[in-house]
Chains A and B, each alone.
Chain A
Amino acid sequence: MTTAALTAGLERVPDQLGYLVISEDGVLASAGELENDEQTAGVMMQMVRTASRFVLSGSADVPFKRMSVILDDFVYTVTVSAQKVFVVKRQQNQREPINV
């Protein structure tokens, strides 16, 4: 898959503010608010590595499909496919539900 093919789909993610495509060697592509953000890339790589080492009892598969780092105003959604880590920064629209 060419880099363009990888990033085209990420551009279309709703509410996206930026993205990163990271491999074992380093950042393959970056855009938006995550452009050239090597620090966030490093942190996300470490988090995903740690999370992928969790093994739920009774299951040999990796226990998750997507990792979300939820902050006040935005969310980092992270997943891994074909030895590459995809990080998309998305707008967090959900607020405290208003009880009418």
Chain B
Amino acid sequence: LSMAGRGRGRGRGQMTFNVEAVGIGKGDALPPPTLQPSPLFPALERRAAPLPGGEEGEYMLALKQELRRAMRGLPYFVKPGAPRRDIERYSDKYQLSNPVDSAIDWNPGGGTQEGTWVEHGDVGLTGRLTNLPLCPPDWRRLPRELKIRVRRLRKGRTAPLVPKQHVALDKEETIKKLESLEKKEEEVTSEEEEEKEEEEEGKEEEEEEYDEEEHEEETDYVLSYFDNGESFGPDSDDNGDEAVY
């Protein structure tokens, strides 16, 4: 019994449709069967057409790179909070502030070190920094569940200010033990709600003045000079503030 269509070597290469109609003539060599996935970078037969140059193209290119740089500096670029260190160190008190997870820092100054260099900085352009006062999120427009509570480490220092808009920045390491009053680092404020729902809903708590960076430390020393010695070593190139000899 010869089953139809099973012939190997007889009628090899037959197909269900009339190959001539599609244009494969008799005796034409068919391309070899594909035994492996197509190459990752197939050879280019033709070079791509040159990009349109011109003033518009240049300007849009500059705009694009500018936007990228600007957005990295804005507080909308959410960075993860600083990882907890294994041991509390004395130097932590003097470190430049690290972002806190639970802070919505859409506020003046950003604390994201806009005046300095950002990671993966784009090459070549001078930034048009948007270091100007921002409007904080309007909580009236957002679902209530998104409001974030920030633990305040400083007990009621200033009288509450009237408007929601004038919120200042407060950032701090969330190390609860260092809750002493004399410590004043940069401040983040976000609005806070009481824990219990039954009490005031949406009532604001105290808001704090935004002190500029100069006031954050009550020391006479410039913060960036503090070197806790951790980065000593051949493979540390963090100290960008010191001149390299």
A binds B: no
**B residues with CB within 8 A of A:** none
**A residues with CB within 8 A of B:** none
